Amino acid sequence: MSTLCITDLHASVESDAGSREILRGVSLTIESGQTHAVMGPNGSGKSTLAYVIAGHPRYRVTAGSITLDGQDVLAMSVDERARAGLFLAMQYPVEVPGVSVSNFLRTSVTAVQGQAPKLRTWVADMRQAMAELQMDPAFAERSVNEGFSGGEKKRHEILQLSLLRPKFAILDETDSGLDVDALRVVSEGVNRVQQETGAGTLLITHYTRILRYIHPDVVHVFVDGRIVESGGPELAEALESAGYERFLAAAAQA
């Protein structure tokens, strides 16, 4: 059993114009096997939360803590966080021209696990994971994300998740840009990893459609850099019908 604990987290973004606070006291705890959905309007800071957990250098933590099984995540480098068991599926995956998907994946697994997987078992594992995500085997020889469609990029993110098998997966708007068939396949991939490994999941999204496939244990409403309400799946259903208006109004009055 593992625990990812975020306590009173404050973070700012640094730019030429100066520092601007985005996270304003975020607290949540995720256990192994749990799925927490973070929902909120554009610009509320949801993606910033994901990037801060992963260690993006653009953001500066000014207060609070993040621990993984009691260890200080904020004291870790980005690669140390990955080796400790954290995984980020990005909303906008970057292109890596000249590096094949197969080489990228094997290098990533080697870096996280500390040793290279045996080639024979690696090829079989990769092909099985790709088949489960309905990916053409020829995909393995394409350059990472170069010329990929939105759906291909997201399947590649979940392919990484399947092979890296982290303790906690942070999925930043994985449903963005997916048609209904791709959404189902990607969601099934996330569910399969959780069932096989017991990983915890932090799912960041605007909409409830992905929650028809990935069922959250807890739903958090995120507005103005804070969690303003938490509840069960019924909270997501309420957001679907009523939107974020009352939460935005309350934040404006605060």
| Residue 77 identity (one-letter amino acid) | S
- What is the spatial distance between Cα 142 and Cα 99, in angstroms, rounded to a whole number? 8
The distance from CA 233 to its chain's CA centroid, rounded to whole angstroms, is 19
pLDDT tens by residue, 70-112 = 999 999 999 999 999 999 998 888 888 899 999 999 999 999 9
- What is the spatial distance between Cα 197 and Cα 167, in angstroms, rounded to a whole number? 8
Return the CATH fold of 3-92+168-253. Rossmann fold (3.40.50)
Residue with tokens 């260690």: 55
pLDDT mean across residues, the chain: 92
- What is the spatial distance between Cα 61 and Cα 253, in angstroms, rounded to a whole number? 26
Return the structure tokens found at 29.
Answer: 């705890």
pTM: 0.92
- What is the spatial distance between Cα 242 and Cα 249, in angstroms, rounded to a whole number? 13
Domain-by-domain residue ranges, the chain? 3-92+168-253
What's the angle, vertex CA 15, arms to CA 14 and CA 18, rounded to 5? Answer: 80
What is the full per-residue pLDDT of the chain (254 aa) written as tens digits?
899 999 999 999 977 777 899 999 999 999 999 999 999 988 889 999 999 999 999 999 999 999 999 999 999 999 999 999 999 998 888 888 899 999 999 999 999 988 888 888 898 999 999 999 999 898 899 999 888 888 889 999 999 999 999 999 999 998 888 889 999 999 999 999 999 999 999 999 988 889 999 999 999 999 999 999 999 999 998 888 888 888 777 777 76
Candidates 112, 7, 113; CA nearest to 53 is 7
